[in-house]
Chains A and B, each alone.
Chain A
Amino acid sequence: MKHCRSGYIFPLILMATLSIGFFTMTLVQLQSSHHDQLQHLNNSQHALNLAYSVNVEVLSELREKQWDERFFKGAPVYRMNQKLFGGTYDLCVEDYDTSEYTFNVKIRTTIGDKKSLFYWRQKYIPNMLDFTRLTFTVSFGEYDPGLFEPGKKSEIDKMVDDKLKNAADNKQEAAEIAKALKNEPTLGAIIEKLAALPPGIDKSLIKGESQLRPSAPVLGTQASNQPKIKVSKVLKDLDSVVDPVDQLDFDPSKPGTCVCNKDLMIRSEPWGTIRGVIPPGAPCEVGGMRGDFFEIKYNGIVGYSHMNWIAVEGHTPAMVEPPRPPGAPPPI
């Protein structure tokens, strides 16, 4: 009894102290977890910003030279342990061999002890009409940092390929769903159409389900109502400027036919001496051109006849006597 009474206060104080101590530790732990959470969030954002910044630098470097002289042409470029904005990163830029003008940028960031891998597949836009854009992103994503290693190249590329293929496969269906939902008047109707409610749940339980959807605001841009000249008409004009014969390729030789209503001269050279004649309607071989003359072979005679009198596939002869150019030898 004596022991009991004299030892009562210490266990009490000990218990109180321990309780307060544990409470304080829990509080510190919570606070630390809060701090870690915030740090993690900031680090994630920081890692993304860092990777984006590196990608911007890659694009800046790409701009400095033309595509044919790009810095990663022929072989992947690796840059390891680079420092930027308080973090470090590893970079890999390489051509994506399967598709022209396409390249992959892999950036592995390290912020504190956390590693992240960001992957951009980008397409260079070589044409001049898209003059406000150098590249566009085909795919972007975050992947397991271990996939950065050169040995894992095919693995990560395949993951991206599959992702793009899925997107392409689903595009039609997604467009159809979006189209089907476009005219549904209420949220409830959309949920019903999507069959998104679990069995036994009524849509009336959803707040605001019967409220009418506001109509989508319409942009007031308009097509031009000016009468325009047809582009095909101008193409026809262009076609008349360039001789159709210049759109032909004479390699290998083509069959031709004399369309002259009398014997057509075979000359030694354009406007040159006469080597022989081709009778009207006779077939010959056409092997090339010199000026306005076809190089022809008829009956063993090789020489030149004017294109106005020889029909070849793709070339309709004018069938008019051609003018002799100034400076050409006089007629014989």
Chain B
Amino acid sequence: MKKRKGFTLLEITIGMFILGGVLVIYLQSMQSSRKKTEYYSEHFIASIMAAKVVESCFQETDINLYGIEALGLVDESGQSLNFNTPVTDGQTVFFKTPEITEEQHPHLYRMFSKDFMLNIDSEKASKPHFKLNTAFAWKASTGAGKFNFFCNFPGSVIRKEPHSTFAFPEARLEKKLVERFFEEKDKSLGSIISSPGAREVALSTGRIYFSVSNLLRDKDFTESFAKAEQLAGEPHAPDSDKFHQATEIYFNISRNILDLMLYLKPEIERVNRDMNMIDSMNLRNKTRLQVFIRRSGFAVDKLRQIFLISVNEAASRYREQMKSSTSLRSQRLMIEKSLSMHRLLMVSTDFCEGVFESGDARSIIRAEYSRLLDTLEKFFADKDQSIMRLAAQERKFVQNNRLKDRYFVCDLVFQLFAEIASFKENLPDPDPGVPDPDLSVVGQPSGNGTAVGAVTWAQDQLDGGSGRGLNVNNGKKICDDPKAWNDWCLAFVNTAYNREVPELAHESAIASYNAMQRAGKIKTDKRPPAGAIMYTEATSSNPYGHIFIATGKTNENGEPIVITSGSAASFDGIREMTLNQMIDICGNYLGYAVPGQVLR
């Protein structure tokens, strides 16, 4: 009976074995589960950390073409740098804001200081991007832990080919050139210009001239200039739509002009380089082509000026907009645009003639850019480190004069402006030709108020002419008295123009010059067209200055030939002579007024 009251040894032993076995399984599971949970936690954190690194790379490369370099993952040549670093105490750029410090994040700090290492391998792919392997390695209690994230990021090579909406259609170019430049019809360009080199120069000139014509024909575009200035002149807040609209217009002007100029760059280079090839052309065609080369040269220089003024305006307005914007997203966008504008200005400092009203362009541009970079570096140090790094990197590029190497458009713009400057220096000075004489003034007491009438009438007073021009001041004619016009130079020119030019109604030649000057009509080059009213300075021996008329002709050296009255101190009558001979007699040349402008 006693035996039946308890359990047999066998029963207890089996029971204990089963229970023990289950307990062992349970404890092992618990232990394994704890380790795995710890491992998974660490793994999870590592993946979050890696995602943060990847996200930083997204942010960095989104605003900075050289973002991977700015992060220190590759060197200047794009070669991989060994990047293996702990993540605590701000030891890596990826965990600086906020830093993982013992004081601020003790739990994280304990975890990450336990051999938690960030390792990034960068590899420059065959295509222009980088392949990054972001790895976190740590010592887990279950063994070494490692987590990898692979991702591609954009590289720095961007090259585009310029396309301009203003480009003159190639299919129409030759016909247009034949008709407009060379006054022909239904002929091929080859039949007009036999030299292939000269033909190419003509085609390039046509591309420049007619593309600029296309630009001017686009009224929406040209009217936007006045619209931008009108909006900019109104007191709009920098965060208002109208302020943004004006900025956008300046940006669009810069964009369209840049596209056009870069499209024309090879043409400018060709004309500038091969201009002497047109020397073999016949005189008439050569002169016609020279006229359009000259116009094209001035036109591209004006495009340069418009571009730089608009870029400077846009840069300035983006800075103002940035200030009033509180959205980091829009600030990033404006920073990107603004920096591009400044980069272009920086490489153009030597070509900023006609951009600022006063001051040294180089100093202004450098100071404004430096101030911008300073501000960005300081402001974003604790807000968006990718912008801070971008500003610091940019400063380095500027200091080392590397903008042109780093941004291909900066290099193109520098080359383009250097080419335009050289082109402007080398522009031909074509003979403008001479108008047919106006025979209706021959034998008359005065001209008829036109430029050609003035020249014909003045030439009629030369030896061999009728000499019937009347000096109303003394009632004399040269046919009666060779000294009729002596010391009456202003009266001579005034009579040639039939006393119809208000600026000639003065007491002396120099007073007439001053009137022309005040009216903004004086030009100073030495290629006056026929009938141009010309001046030399007042001297101690001749305080009244001197005035005479351009014939439109030149001598074999290209010097303009003028027609002038004499004086008691020089010669009697009326003579033709070169401008240099005139200067020898009367003193320094002051300039001329174009007849078309002086006529009412």
Contacts and interface: CB of A to CB of B under 8 A. Distances in A.
B529 to A, nearest CB: 6
Given A60-B128, A235-B225, A238-B302, A229 B357 contact: yes
Given A218-B323, A231-B225, A128 B216 contact: no
B18 A290 contact: no
A186 B371 CA distance: 34
Contacts of A227: 356-358
Contact of A132 (B58, B182, B284, B407): B407
Given A66-B161, A85-B150, A219-B331, A232 B209 contact: no
B309 A234 contact: yes
A329 B41 CA distance: 96
A145 B306 CA distance: 51
Nearest to A218: B323
Contacts of A182: 326
Contact of A321 (B313, B325, B451): B451
A42 B15 CA distance: 45
A61 B128 CA distance: 8
B409 A325 contact: no
Nearest to B239: A179
B299 A132 contact: no
A234 B409 contact: no
Contact of A232 (B226, B356, B599): B226
Contacts of A270: 183
A220 B375 CA distance: 6
Contacts of B529: 323
Given A13-B19, A49-B149, A326-B433, A219 B375 contact: yes
A262 B320 CA distance: 60
A226 B364 contact: yes
B287 A234 contact: no
A150 to B, nearest CB: 26
Given A10-B15, A227-B358, A134 B158 contact: yes
Contact of B128 (A46, A63, A222): A63
Nearest to A293: B183
Given A226-B364, A321-B436, A63 B149 contact: no
A246 to B, nearest CB: 4
Contact of A241 (B29, B30, B299): B299
Contacts of A54: 152
A331 B313 contact: no
Interface stretch (B20-28, B109-117, B494-502): B20-28
A324 B434 contact: yes
A46 B134 CA distance: 12
A9 interface: yes
Contacts of A23: 26
Given A235-B225, A235-B306, A320 B179 contact: no
Contacts of A207: none
Interface stretch (A26-34, A112-120, A154-162, A195-203): A26-34
Contacts of B258: 127-129
Given A63-B159, A224-B368, A239 B54 contact: no
Contact of B319 (A9, A218, A223): A223
A242 interface: yes
B124 to A, nearest CB: 11
Nearest to A272: B183
A129 B383 CA distance: 28
A85 B125 CA distance: 14
Nearest to B261: A128
Nearest to B153: A56
Interface in B10-61: 11-12, 15, 18-19, 22-23, 25-26, 29-30, 33, 36-37, 40, 43-44, 47, 51, 54, 58
B336 interface: yes
B560 interface: no
Nearest to A304: B183
Contact of B149 (A45, A290, A295): A45
Interface string B145-164: 00001111111011111110
Given A231-B229, A327-B282, A64 B127 contact: yes
B36 A31 contact: yes
A28 B529 CA distance: 101
Contacts of B47: 38, 41-42, 45
Nearest to A314: B217
Contacts of B33: 27-28, 31
B325 to A, nearest CB: 8
Contacts of B412: 128
Contacts of B322: 219, 221
Contacts of B203: none
A6 interface: yes
Contact of B552 (A219, A239, A291, A323): A323
Contacts of B25: 20-21, 24
Contact of A324 (B4, B340, B433): B433
B65 A56 contact: no
Contacts of B253: 231
Most B CB contacts (10 A, CB to CB) among A49, A126, A218, A227 go to A49
B388 to A, nearest CB: 13
A54 B127 CA distance: 12
B210 A246 contact: yes
A60 B411 CA distance: 22
A198 B155 CA distance: 50
A16 B19 contact: yes
A318 interface: yes
B210 A323 contact: no
Contacts of B356: 226-229
Contact of B450 (A10, A133, A218, A320): A320
B408 interface: yes
A20 B568 CA distance: 135
Most A CB contacts (10 A, CB to CB) among B25, B47, B158 go to B158
B284 A327 contact: yes
B435 interface: yes
B433 A38 contact: no
Nearest to B47: A42
B354 A234 contact: yes
Given A63-B159, A231-B313, 20 more contacts: A20-B23, A20-B25, A38-B47, A52-B152, A56-B153, A132-B340, A219-B322, A222-B371, A223-B316, A224-B312, A226-B364, A229-B357, A231-B310, A232-B225, A242-B295, A290-B183, A291-B182, A321-B450, A326-B431, A331-B436
13 contacts: A2-B4, A10-B11, A31-B33, A63-B159, A127-B259, A133-B158, A219-B375, A220-B378, A221-B375, A227-B357, A246-B209, A247-B216, A324-B434
Query: Considering the complex of A and B, which 9 residue pairs feature the smallest CB-CB distances, nearest first?
Result: A327-B284, A291-B183, A323-B433, A327-B283, A321-B452, A53-B152, A131-B409, A85-B150, A60-B127
